[in-house]
Structure 1
């Protein structure tokens, strides 16, 4: 399981309720995600992306995606210091599983939930 290691902070980016039909991001979304990872790593911040179904509360781990080189890899991560809510629409965010997850993250004492609601910038 991946821990923060030499990083000063860990950010888990909540990207939606379900994984896309393919396991790894494609095209414009993938490019933006790669840029976020690269920018963060240059500042000693570990960034990974995940979906609502990737969170295991019992074991306190998240199955996240990272880009290494030009290849997307799936890894298990400890809970991050920050969860960044990037669910792309109000409709998706209002689904029961997303609301449940966001509530649990906001109540969790060991992390900070950033952008807790759609358009809460």
Structure 2
């Protein structure tokens, strides 16, 4: 077994993402001392999706942010997309049901093969 150093990656997955290649790495913690900076940025970026009770609501998110621990950017993108995929679907379905959002409906149909 060969040791590989892991980092905390802050990733942004847009609601229109079709796979890991659309995930953006915003930053990473270079060491344990750097983690608070990355975590604070994570909390700030997703703060718009909190409701009045300070509870995170995926249906309010404009993008999905994930904090993942792994050894490469490629792996971070794959993990972030996998974690975000269900939240993206939920968000898009909510937009279709609440607002009749044609763009969200198109993404659901083309990317996830969901028609209702």
Q: Common fold, TM-score beyond 0.5? A: no
Q: Which has the larger radius of gyration?
A: 2
Structure with the higher helix share, 1 or 2:
2
State the TM-score bracket (shorter-chain normalisation): under 0.3
Query: Structure 1 or 2: larger strand share?
Result: 1
- Give the TM-score, by structure 2 length: 0.28
Q: What TM-score do you get using the length of structure 1 for normalisation?
A: 0.27
